[in-house]
A and B are shown apart, each in its own frame.
Chain A
Amino acid sequence: MEFLENKYLLISLTFLIYIGAQRLQKACGLKLLNPILITMCVMICYLLFFNIDYATYQEGGRYIDFWLKPAIVALGVPLYKQLSTIRRQMLPLLVAEIAGCVAGLFSVIILARLFGASHEVVMSLAPKAVTTPIAIEVSSAIGGIPALTAAVVVSTGVFGGIAGFQIIKLSRIRSSIAGGLSMGTAAHAIGTSAAMEQSERFGAYSSLGLTINGLLTALLAPFLLEVMGMI
């Protein structure tokens, strides 16, 4: 059945499963039923079952991919709305971001090595907290597997979106500014979209977190890894 790998079929399935999962999540009120996660799993099973490769899926999928970059540009709007608050606290924001970025890089590398990951996998995980385009760049620059990085980035984002608020609460982070910032720093745009649902202020600081951590990771990761003797 050649129709099973038709690009319009594959792309429409992606839309419909996502919408279905979104409704299911709303109906059950379960955060774990994350639409991104469900769509990923269902589509991967579909492709494996009918033996369709990823390149074939991407013939349609790239039209969804295309909107990723414009969507990140759109994050400039919540950022603009909070600009005056952001300007008043440049110092705490910057210091927190540098701390979060360095802690993230060190912790993921140390943990991955402790758990016995191979060098290639450790390198693929290093930039996992930042948004896909940056993470892929960094990953290939330091000798990781970009495709694995992309998948881990999305999974990290989904985990952040699901568990992030709980972690924020348990770590006794009280201000919505600190919480939003943490969310964006740890779980990039996917965490930010969860933050946006909470409140616009939360979302704005989350997009600030993802921006600054994205820039810092792009600049610091290769350097830090060299210091650690990993490259």
Chain B
Amino acid sequence: MILQFGIILGLLAIGELIVNALSLPVPSSIIGMILLTASLQFGIIKLHQVERLTSFLLKNLGFFFVPAGIGLINSLDVLKGELGAIVGASVGSTIIIIAVTGWVYQLVRKATSRRNKNDINLSQE
């Protein structure tokens, strides 16, 4: 278990180093996540060396957001005046993002798989 903590926190530390050194506009955690995927893919890290910790973290992902959510307490004044606008815009935009992302994916996927089929047909002729 200690090794698992060491690996995950170590990757995060490398992420911090990269972000600071290159002054990237991306958070260190995203870099760490990409590093973890790459290390697993290239066999530098084995799945069983991290999986106990990562499955615990992923199972409780939402919990780690709670303190940030409680931070709402500092914006209650702004909220009171513009609650309707904030909720309306967030809810509306969330629905739009879900629909647009899903539709575009399905459309492009359909288009590309059809083209691939055509390619195969052409080569057979």
Interface residues of A (CB under 8 A from B): 14, 18, 35-36, 39-40, 43-44, 47-48, 54, 57-58, 61-62, 64-65, 67-80, 83, 89, 91-93, 95-97, 99-100, 103-104, 107-108, 111-112, 115-118, 120-121, 125, 128-129, 131-134, 137, 141, 145, 147-148, 150-161, 163-164, 167-168, 171, 173-175, 177-179, 181-183, 185-187, 189-190, 192-193, 196, 203, 207, 209, 211, 214-215, 218-219
Closest beta carbon of chain B to A188's beta carbon, Å: 9
A148 to B77, CA, bound (A): 10
Tell me whether B17 is interfacial, beta carbon within 8 Å. no
Interface of B is mostly: helix
Encode B32-48 as 1/0 by CB contact (under 8 A) with A.
11111100110000010
Given A96-B101, A154-B69, A161-B62: A103 and B96 interface contact (C-beta under 8 Å): yes
The count of chain B contact residues (Cβ–Cβ below 8 Å) is 72
Q: Are A58 and B67 in contact (CB under 8 A)?
A: yes
Given A74-B8, A183-B98, A211-B33: A68 and B105 interface contact (C-beta under 8 Å): no
A160 to B95, CA, bound (A): 8
Q: Are A75 and B33 in contact (CB under 8 A)?
A: yes
Task: Name the CB-closest residue of A to B24.
Answer: A218
Q: A54-B71, A64-B66, A115-B85 are in contact. List 11 more A-B contacts (CB 8 A).
A: A73-B32, A77-B36, A92-B109, A133-B30, A150-B68, A151-B71, A151-B75, A173-B102, A175-B105, A178-B101, A196-B61
- Complex contacts, B26 vs chain A, CB 8 Å: 134, 214-215, 218
Closest beta carbon of chain B to A166's beta carbon, Å: 10
A219 to B78, CA, bound (A): 28
Given A77-B50, A92-B108, A121-B85: A61 and B70 interface contact (C-beta under 8 Å): yes
A65 to B94, CA, bound (A): 25
- Complex contacts, B28 vs chain A, CB 8 Å: 69, 133
- Complex contacts, B73 vs chain A, CB 8 Å: 44, 47-48, 54
- Complex contacts, B51 vs chain A, CB 8 Å: 77
- Complex contacts, A141 vs chain B, CB 8 Å: 25
Encode B87-125 as 1/0 by CB contact (under 8 A) with A.
011111111111111111110110010000000000000
Q: Are B69 and A171 in contact (CB under 8 A)?
A: no
